[in-house]
Amino acid sequence: MAQTKIKLIADGVIDANNLKAGHTITTDNIGEGTNLYYTDARVGSYLSTNSYATEGYVTTAVANLVDAAPSTLDTLNELAAALGDDPNFATTVTNSIATKLPLAGGTLTGNLIVNANLGIGIGSPSTNLEVYGIEPVIRLSGDGLNAVGTLLGEIQIFNRDTSTAGPNIAASIKAITAQSSGAGAHLIFGTTTGSEAEGTAAIERMRINSAGNVGIGTNTPSEKLDVYGNIKLGTTANSNVLNRSDSHWIQYNGGAQTNDTYVRVASVGATSIGRTISFHTNSSERIRIPSTGGMTVTNGNIAMSNGYGIDFSASAGAGSTSTLLDDYEEGTFTPYIIQGYTSVTYGFRLGVYTKIGNQVTVSLRLDIAAGTADSNRLEIYIPFTAAPTTTLAAASIGFWNAAGLSTKDPYALVGIGEIVFYRSNGSGGKFTGLDANDTSWAIHLTATFLV
Amino acid sequence: MALTKQRVQDKLEIVSKFKHIQIRYADQIVENGNVISQNYHRDMVSCGDYDAADTHNVRAIADAVWTPELIATYQAQIQESIINN
């Protein structure tokens, strides 16, 4: 059934109950412009024309604006608070950035304070400053200013302890110019004792000058190592010491004692020790070479190792055995009869000897209390082996006392480990045996011979 | 430590063509193992004198250097000296 559009103008309420049966009121039946019915298009147009937003539009727009921002920053108030409520935030930020050093490099006009380890070329520095790289270099670049002694660079170790004379520079390493021009420099090492006044620079202790000489205790080293003071060498607290003062010492302290064993080289000093060299052991002077020459063994003996002696050669290289005193010995021996007497009963016996080089002197006393002569020769032991030749006898006899035999003509020869006494019967030329009566007698003699 | 005295054979020498054995004794005063003083005393064992070699405890050396021929030569030399003189 076709619907008939009607125009209703009423002041009252029109509802479906007032309609004829079979009729309904739909928006389709309501004419445009009747204020009774508006189409979606018209409403939309109306809203658009009058800039009205729907709830859905507004909801969508707000959601797009928030764009899933965190709840703590999804309101303008929160955003403003986050920006410090600074209406000139952009200017503030711009000005602040202008005070920062660009990553690409720039000039830092103020102090740089790093409260963490600083790494150069390394991502995880393990010390306050760590420089990493292939053959890394730290350079202190100074200006010599064309003047000698100008500081070119210095590394200072500063002690901030204020308890005693501090804070202060505890130690330093620095370089100063050596010449008014050029690159020559002295490298100086300094330390402080701790008793200096606050602010005192480290005191120079060692210097390597531009010529490569090392000076300790002097800032003008003239040799590769020039020390004004003592030098101690060794592996213990009591080690070797070289002392440089008015008296120079070469000292070895190997034991628990100190200053007990040394060589003293005195260039100046008391008259008694000036310009002398002396050798000291166990706290006693042993040998001295005085300023006037010569040498004195002041305490002890001179001992020669086997095969060595004193060479009296007049000139170097002219030494021979004839000018070499290589043996000295003294001692005792007990003389006894080797041959010529039997059934011997000895009385007092004593022999002493002194050997100087190839010359031996023996002195003996041999008392015969009883015995029987059985030969024309009497051989008595003496030490060392005489070296007679066919033309030169190695004998010099001092004395032979044969009591009761004064008419006889005894003589003696020194032989190989023995001294041989011969006696004449007084008739000359021919020797006879000792008298049978010669049973109690003594020999006293001193003999010098060559070996 | 107390002082001690000891005698040591500190030098043995074979001398002359007859190889007599020359002995040097050192009479030593020892303190803490260190010789602080010593005197020498010499003796000699003639070729063929085995009793003396035993006395001076050099028998092994004597056996090594003395031969019957050497001893005989030495004895002959002694007798020759007696005869010639």
CB-nearest to B40 from A330, A334, A338 is: A330
Report pLDDT for A401. Answer: 39
Tell me, yes or no, if the pTM score tops 0.80.
Answer: no
Chain B contact set for A434 (CB, 8 A): none
Report pLDDT for A258. Answer: 56
H-helix or E-strand containing B37?
strand B34-45
CA distance B43 to chain A (A): 6
Report pLDDT for A164. Answer: 66
Q: Give bridge partners of residue A322 from the DSSP assignment.
A: none
Report pLDDT for A415. Answer: 62
Chain B contact set for A376 (CB, 8 A): 82, 85
What gap in Å lies between CA B40 and CA B8, rounded to an integer?
10
CA distance A338 to chain B (A): 9
Instruction: Give the residue on A whose Cα is nearest the Cα of B41.
Output: A332
CB pairs under 8 A between A and B: 51
B57-80 confidence digits (pLDDT tens): 999 999 999 999 999 998 887 766
Instruction: Give the residue on A whose Cα is nearest the Cα of B85.
Output: A431
**A419, A413 Cβ separation under 8 angstroms:** yes
Query: Tokens for A147?
Result: 């003047």
B16-43 confidence digits (pLDDT tens): 888 999 999 999 999 888 888 888 999 9
A 423-442: CB under 8 A from B: 431
CA distance B64 to chain A (A): 20
**B3, B19 Cβ separation under 8 angstroms:** no
Report pLDDT for A13. Answer: 54
Give chain A as a 3 state SS string.
CCCCCCCCCCCCCCCHHHCCCCCCCCHHHCCCCCCCCCCHHHHHHHHHHCCCCCHHHHHHHHHHHHCCCCHHHCCHHHHHHHCCCCCCHHHHHHHHHCCCCCCCCCCCCCCCCCCCCEEECCCCCCCCEEECCCCCCCCCCCCCCCCCCCEEEEEEEEECCCCCCCCEEEEEEEEEECCCCCCCEEEEEEECCCCCCCCCCCEEEEEECCCCCEEECCCCCCCCEEECCCEEECCCCCCEEEECCCEEEEECCCCCCCCCCEEEEECCCCCCCCCEEEEEECCEEEEEECCCCCCEECCCCCCCCCCCCEECCCCCCCCCHHHEECCEEEEEECCCEEECEEEEEEEEEEEEEEEECCEEEEEEEEEEEEEEECCCEEEEEEEEECCCCCCCCCCCECCCCCCCCCCCCCEEEECEEEEEEECECCCCCCECCCCCCCCCEEEEEEEEEEC
User: Taking CB atoms and an 8 Å limit, are B85 and A331 in contact across chains?
Assistant: no
| Of A277, A220, A281, the residue nearest A248 (C-alpha) | A277
Chain B contact set for A377 (CB, 8 A): 81-82, 85
Query: Tokens for A121?
Result: 């070329």
What gap in Å lies between CA A18 and CA B29, rounded to an integer?
161
Instruction: Give the residue on B whose Cα is nearest the Cα of A350.
Output: B41
CA distance B85 to chain A (A): 7
Cis peptide before A221 (omega within 30 of 0): no
Per-residue pLDDT of chain A (451 residues; tens, 9 = 90+): 454 555 554 455 555 566 666 766 665 555 555 555 567 887 788 888 888 888 888 899 989 999 989 999 989 999 999 999 999 999 999 999 888 888 888 888 888 899 999 999 999 999 999 999 999 999 999 888 889 999 999 999 988 877 766 678 889 999 999 999 888 999 999 998 877 777 778 899 999 999 999 999 999 999 999 988 878 777 776 666 676 665 566 665 554 445 677 787 776 555 556 678 888 888 788 999 888 888 889 888 888 887 788 777 666 554 455 677 888 899 999 998 887 778 889 999 999 999 998 888 999 998 888 887 776 667 788 888 766 555 455 554 533 434 333 334 455 666 656 666 665 444 333 334 445 455 567 788 888 887 7
Give the angle subtended at the CA of B15 by the CAs of B9 and B17, to the nearest 5°.
150
Report the 10 Å Cβ neighbour count for B59: 16
Query: Tokens for A115?
Result: 């409260």
CB-nearest to A331 from B18, B42, B46 is: B42
**A178, A185 Cβ separation under 8 angstroms:** yes
ipTM rounded to 2 decimals: 0.76
**A389, A369 Cβ separation under 8 angstroms:** no
Q: Does the pLDDT at position B49 exceed 90?
A: yes
Report pLDDT for A205. Answer: 96
